């Protein structure tokens, strides 16, 4: 997702260094390219260690696509404040970037540029391009690669609020990954009836089989206030007998059930 110089491009280059990389401006467009066979796979962000889950990706997986997650990778995120050559911090009155980048650099901006206007861009790379065509009072939050690509200067390094800032990306494809012995499965479900213990009753299907849940969160169902869809990442592959049994038990208890895919758990040495 995004033009050259974005974190998504960096993740795609990390995942498939020798691949042909096709940039698209939105997460939905990446999915459409894979669904229509314009692309073999798509790399999209799903969660950040500071800002949390990427809503557009979750909504795509739940409501809008039948594509499966076939791989995951984690990318360290380092933000830079970029300017036109010769521009100083005293000149800056407007800062361009993607909303996620603004959220990840909130403390830096509040401390160093409290009066500067924030302008949202489609991507961090688009922000740098917009900054370079604006007047000399602009800056952008972007990547070191974007600075090279667009001829910008780095005014400040590693401006993210947390030094351990990371984004998890998933690779989407027509099918998920075959079992490797060290896998993760992502799914969603909605309880059939909102009553005390309903969620606990479902989660017990995993607990009693000693299946570890790596993550659980909820999203609005889009139906009405108070109705939610639960998203779960669990350790194991959907074809593992014990996981298969648990998933079938959960499927029988819920109103909505969808497995997004099983794929190798990320480890730095595996990518």
Bigger pLDDT: 241 vs 4: 241
| Residue whose tokens read 């790379």 | 125
Q: Provide the token pair at 243.
A: 């996981």
Report the alpha-carbon distance of residue 23 to residue 184 in Å, rounded.
Answer: 27
CA dist 222 → 24, 52, 190, 264 (Å): 26, 20, 12, 31
Report the alpha-carbon distance of residue 111 to residue 122 in Å, rounded.
Answer: 25
Report the alpha-carbon distance of residue 215 to residue 201 in Å, rounded.
Answer: 17
* Residue extents of the structural domains in the chain: 7-75+165-173, 80-156, 183-270
Q: Is 3.30.465.10 the CATH classification of the domain at 183-270?
A: no
At 111-123, the pLDDT tens digits run 999 999 999 998 9
Strand partners, 42: 172
> What is the DSSP code (8-state) at residue 63?
I
- Segment 241-260 mean pLDDT: 97
Taking 70 as the threshold, does the pLDDT of residue 254 lie above it?
Answer: yes
Q: Residue 45: pLDDT band by 50, 70, 90 thresholds?
A: very high
* Catalytic, out of 167, 189, 206, 260: 167
| Residue whose tokens read 């939905």 | 28
- Segment 179-197 mean pLDDT: 93
Given CA atoms 204, 63, 34, 72 in this order, what sign does their dihedral have?
A: negative
At 222-246, the pLDDT tens digits run 888 888 999 999 999 999 999 999 9
Superfamily of domain 7-75+165-173: Periplasmic binding protein-like II (3.40.190.10)
Taking 80 as the threshold, does the pLDDT of residue 268 lie above it?
Answer: no
- Segment 29-50 mean pLDDT: 96
Percent of the chain with pLDDT over 70: 99
143's CB contacts (< 8 A; 6+ apart) are 5, 6, 7, 10, 78, 79, 80, 124, 125
Catalytic status, residue 169:
yes
Neighbours of 244 (CB within 10 A): 13
* Catalytic, out of 7, 24, 102, 169: 169
Taking 70 as the threshold, does the pLDDT of residue 270 lie above it?
Answer: no
Taking 90 as the threshold, does the pLDDT of residue 192 lie above it?
Answer: no
213's CB contacts (< 8 A; 6+ apart) are 203, 206, 232, 233, 234, 235
Instruction: Report the CATH fold assignment for 80-156.
Output: D-Maltodextrin-Binding Protein; domain 2 (3.40.190)
H or E element that contains 229: strand 228-235
The whole-number pLDDT of residue 50 equals 87
| Residue-wise burial string across 167-188, b where 16 or more C-beta atoms lie within 10 A, e elsewhere | bbbbbbbeebbeeeeebbbbbb
The whole-number pLDDT of residue 271 equals 46
The whole-number pLDDT of residue 136 equals 82
At 55-67, the pLDDT tens digits run 999 999 999 999 9
At 10-28, the pLDDT tens digits run 999 999 999 999 999 899 9
The reply to whether domains 7-75+165-173 and 80-156 share a CATH topology is yes
Catalytic status, residue 189:
no
Pairing of strands 42-48, 52-53: antiparallel
CA dist 155 → 78, 97, 143, 144, 159 (Å): 14, 15, 12, 11, 10
Q: What is the mean pLDDT of the chain?
A: 94
At 90-148, the pLDDT tens digits run 999 999 999 999 999 999 999 999 999 999 998 999 999 999 999 889 999 999 999 99
The whole-number pLDDT of residue 68 equals 98
pTM, two decimal places: 0.86
């Amino acid at each position: 997702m995004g033009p050259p110089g974005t974190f998504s491009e960096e993740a795609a280059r990390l995942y498939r260094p020798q691949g042909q990389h096709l940039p698209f401006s939105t997460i939905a467009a990446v999915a459409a390219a894979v669904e229509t066979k314009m692309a073999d796979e798509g790399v999209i962000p799903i969660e950040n260690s500071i800002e949390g889950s990427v809503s557009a990706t979750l909504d795509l997986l739940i409501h809008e696509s039948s594509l499966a997650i076939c791989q995951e990778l984690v990318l360290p995120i380092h933000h830079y404040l970029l300017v036109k050559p010769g521009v100083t911090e005293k000149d800056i009155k407007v800062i361009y970037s993607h909303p996620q980048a603004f959220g990840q650099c909130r403390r830096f901006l509040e401390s160093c540029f409290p009066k500067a206007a924030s302008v949202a861009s489609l991507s961090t790379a688009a922000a740098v391009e917009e900054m370079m065509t604006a007047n000399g009072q602009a800056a952008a939050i972007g990547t070191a690669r974007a600075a090279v690509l667009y001829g910008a200067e780095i005014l400040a390094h590693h401006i993210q609020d947390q030094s351990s800032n990371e984004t998890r990306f998933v690779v989407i494809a027509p099918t998920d990954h075959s079992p490797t012995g060290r896998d993760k499965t992502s799914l969603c479900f909605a309880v059939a009836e909102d009553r005390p213990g309903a969620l606990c009753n479902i989660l017990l299907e995993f607990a009693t089989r000693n299946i570890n849940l790596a993550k659980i969160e909820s999203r609005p169902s889009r139906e009405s206030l108070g109705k939610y869809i639960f998203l779960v990442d669990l350790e194991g592959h959907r074809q593992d007998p014990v996981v298969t049994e648990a998933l079938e038990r959960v499927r029988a208890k819920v109103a909505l059930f969808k497995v997004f895919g099983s794929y190798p758990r990320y480890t730095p040495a595996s990518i």
